[in-house]
Amino acid sequence: DKSIDTKIRLHEETALTPQLALGLRDFVGTGLWSSEYLVASKHLPHVDVSLGMGWGYMAGTGDMANPLSVLSSRFSTRSTATASTGGLPSFGNYFTGPASLFGGIEYQTPWDPLRVKIEYDGNNYKQEPLGEIITSNSRWNAGLVYEASSNVDLSAGYERGNQVMFGVNLHANLKNLYMPKLSDPPLVPVNNSYPANHTNWKITSLDIETQTKWKVLQITQHKNILFIDVANPHNVYWREYLDRAIRVLHRDASFGIDYFVFRIHEEGLLVAEEHVDRGAWLTQHTEETPPSLTQMAMMPVAPLSTLSHQANQNNSPPSSTQNTALYSSSIDQLEFHNGLNFNYFLGGPNNFILYSLAPYEEVRYHINNDTWVQGTAQYNVFDNYNNFTYDAPSNLPRVRTYIREYVTTSRLTMPNLQLTSVKNIAPDQYVSFYAGYLEMMFGGVGSEYLYRPFDSQFALGVDINEVAQRNFNVGFGFQNYRVLTGLATLYWDTGWQGVHTNLSMGRYLAGDVGATLDISKQFKNGVQMGAYATKTNVTSAQFGEGSIDKGIYVNIPFDALLTRSTDLTAHFLWEPLLRDGGARLNRAVQLYDLTKRRVGSGTLSLHL
């Protein structure tokens, strides 16, 4: 089985007061094992003490009256009715019914890795759901916890007076993931002196590519400004690699060049500029300056903004004839990328985990700067899909519950083959057009529009797609099901603690209409964790078990794990149940992601 728990700290521990936390267990399940609790904990020398009160399953003993009954009589009893499909909060049941106390003591032994625990359980396991029988001889439990590493705990215990327990706990603080880039090229030294006239700008561009993995499209000069156009700079830690590029330019640019302007292109779209005051940058790197006197050396701005306009007196952007061309190149017309996909399903009825390992090859051919064809082929070399026999029932068009057929029909598949074109139609406005096999289960044609002002907390996007269901072998061909689907999405960067909120409304793949709320947090190291939920106009009974579409995801850039810089990211998604309601089209190219450099000052930093 699966459950979703949450815990909120109400008060942080002080020298005199304990920490207070409020928690909910299995709070969107059927209600059979749901619990609520309030717990206080205090750290003493070598000892942690906790004492709490629980409701619901944690209070199976029910040996004390609910203190909340003084507020309302409705808190006195807890409904025994269960949600047949689960998946929605049972607000009316929270903190109701009899309560029980629980608590524990954890002792830190003189040997640092070892801790000893004793706890008192609020449940005597005599009123188990569904008539299950669990024998309990004691409400006292005891155990040992051995910290094998900073991320792994091994535990053993004696529970309910009759059971021996062993466990492994894997844990990590996502915001602290970081690996020094020991395998990256060494930084170019910074000197106070300016070089003499530099003529070999090809070497400059190659050194920038070596330092940053950016593709330099051209380098031009107008008076005291050096313009550098770069394509698809996908580094997570943008500021550090921008600094690497500036070091190369400062080494090679002669006296009289006072500004560097990086023009950032994503798939042919000019999305942002970075203006660098060379003198201020040099001062920061060669002199110790008090923070109050530090000038801003690097400034992200909208394309063709103030510094670019200084190239001539009428305040219009410099033309190619006004600039001196120092170096020019073109995008790589044909690109190949390969890797290994690990596909998985957690917590299904056939196995705890169903998985496959599939090497893939992606090919991309650029027709021009902003139009390209991309395709992916993959082969399942190792899997346990022979255990995948369960077909989820559905009362809706089966747009996702045919998953077993899609992953077991053929080992060699073509998840994606599409033509894409993107355009900047006006300041802050972008469109894309695409056609082909858009994802594993659907193909067709579609378009997206995005309005995204530079450095704004808000953006608005609309996509519309006419798609058909693909054949189960994930090759060429379609089945009979067709649908018009599309969403309008409001993107909101809250500006608080890296929290982002997206609200989408529209028509989903099964033809149902509703809305999706997606809330995520991005840490300074680029790791992102979020959750989403979709509610449409189908009833819980029509939707089936789970009631609504929902999931939790974590995106971890390999930059946070490896000693060498890379633009790869690991994506983990956990969907408690895969159903047909609220299913969205998985589009390979999304304009909001493509224009991520328009966040202005909200960039990530390698220095945590």
The average pLDDT across 114-140 equals 89
Domain identity same for 17 and 147: yes
- 606 is a domain residue: no
Beta carbons of 50 and 41 less than 8 angstroms apart: yes
Interhelix angle 201-212/238-252, rounded to 10 degrees, is: 160
Percent of the chain with pLDDT over 70: 90
Among 129-133, 296-300, 479-483, where is mean pLDDT lowest?
A: 296-300
Supply the Cα-derived Rg of the chain in whole angstroms. 29
Of the ranges 292-296, 325-329, 493-497, 517-521, which one carries the lowest mean pLDDT score? Answer: 292-296
Is residue 180 assigned to a domain? no
- Determine, yes or no, domain membership for 449: yes
Separation CA 378–CA 41 (nearest Å) = 51
Q: Looking at the structure, do residues 555 and 574 belong to the same domain, yes or no? A: yes
Reading the block at residue 468, the tokens are 């058909």
Phi and psi at 513, nearest 5°, equal: -120, 135
Q: What is the mean pLDDT of residues 43-67?
A: 92
242 φ/ψ angles, rounded to the nearest 5 degrees: -60, -40
pLDDT confidence bin for 90, thresholds 50/70/90? confident
In a domain, 386, yes or no: yes
Instruction: Determine the angle formed by the axes of helices 278-286 and 238-252, rounding to 10 degrees.
Output: 100
- Which range is least confidently modeled, 333-342, 479-488, 570-579? 570-579
Same domain, 383 and 513: yes
Cα angle 466, 467, 469 (rounded to 5 degrees) comes to: 160
Q: Is residue 223 located within the same domain as residue 162?
A: no
| pLDDT for the residue 84 | 52
Enter the pTM of the model: 0.84
**pLDDT score of 604:** 45
**Cβ atoms of 53 and 97 closer than 8 Å:** no
pLDDT band at 515 (very low <50, low <70, confident <90, very high): very high
For all residues of the chain together, what is the average pLDDT?
A: 87
- Residue 294, pLDDT above cutoff 90: no
Q: 305 and 341 share a domain?
A: no
Tell me, yes or no, whether 118 and 209 share the same domain. no
Same domain, residue pair 529 and 380: yes
Q: Which residue has the higher pLDDT, 542 or 55?
A: 55
Torsional sign, CA 523, 524, 527, 532? positive
Q: Angle at Cα 457 formed by Cα 451 and Cα 459, nearest 5°?
A: 20
More confident position, 357 or 294:
357
CA dist., res. 107 & res. 115, Å (int) = 6
* E strand residue ranges, 278-411: 298-301, 324-328, 334-346, 353-368, 371-379, 382-383
Asked if 309 and 275 touch (Cβ cutoff 8 Å), the reply is no
Using the predicted structure, report yes or no on whether residue 564 has a pLDDT greater than 70: yes
Q: Which amino acid is at 371?
A: T
Residue type, 24: L
Q: In this structure, which amino acid lies at residue 134?
A: I
- CA-wise closest residue to 379 among 349, 358, 362: 358
pLDDT at residue 292 in the model: 58
Taken in order 583, 586, 592, 597, is the CA torsion positive or negative? positive
- C-alpha–C-alpha distance, residues 591 and 264, integer Å: 15
Residue 195 in contact with residue 249, Cβ under 8 Å?
Answer: no
Picking from 328, 352, 384, the residue at the C-terminal end of a domain is 328
Residue 268: which domain range?
201-328
Q: Tell me the per-residue pLDDT of 158-189, one tens digit each, with 9 for 90 and over.
A: 999 999 999 999 888 888 888 888 888 999 99
Mean pLDDT score, 214-224: 93
Based on the domain organization, do 360 and 392 belong to the same domain?
A: yes
d(CA 520, CA 264): 26
Q: In angstroms, rounded to a whole number, what is the distance separating the alpha carbons of residues 115 and 315?
A: 69
**Choice between 300 and 436, residue whose per-residue pLDDT is larger:** 436
Q: Which residues, including other chains, have CB under 8 Å from residue 367's CB and lie 6 or more apart?
A: 373
- In this structure, are 379 and 272 located in the same domain? no
In a domain, residue 405? The reply is: yes
Mean pLDDT of 255-259: 91
222 domain residue, yes or no: yes
Domain end (from 278, 299, 328): 328
Cross-strand pairs, 19: 41
User: Which stretch of DSSP H or E encloses residue 403?
Assistant: helix 403-408
Beta-ladder partners of 469:
442
206 plus 134 within the same structural domain: no
One domain for residues 58 and 140: yes
Q: Give me the CATH number covering residue 324.
A: 3.30.300
- pLDDT reading at 232 higher than 50: yes
For 56, the token pair is: 């619901």
Give strand ranges (E) for 427-522.
429-437, 442-451, 458-470, 478-493, 499-507, 513-522
Indicate the pLDDT class of residue 599, thresholds 50, 70 and 90: confident
Q: Is residue 166 part of a domain?
A: yes
Report residue 545 CA to chain centroid gap. 26
Rounded to whole angstroms, the Cα distance separating 573 from 588 reads 16
Task: Pick the more confident residue, 412 or 404.
Answer: 412
CB distance 551 to 576 below 8 Å: yes
- Per the domain annotation, does 29 fall within a domain? yes
Average pLDDT over residues 254-274: 92
The total number of structural domains that make up the chain: 3
Residue type, position 587, single letter: R
Specify whether the CB–CB gap between 424 and 267 falls below 8 A.
Answer: no
Is residue 455 located within the same domain as residue 435?
A: yes
- Mean pLDDT, range 41-55, rounded to an integer: 95
Higher pLDDT, residue 537 or 196: 537
Which of 269, 294, 328 corresponds to the end of one domain?
A: 328
| pLDDT surpassing 80 at residue 108 | yes
So what's the pLDDT on residue 375?
A: 97
Q: Quick check: 314 pLDDT over 60?
A: no
Q: Tell me the pLDDT band of 297, cut-offs 50, 70 and 90.
A: confident
Give the C-alpha separation, 413 to 410, whole Å: 7
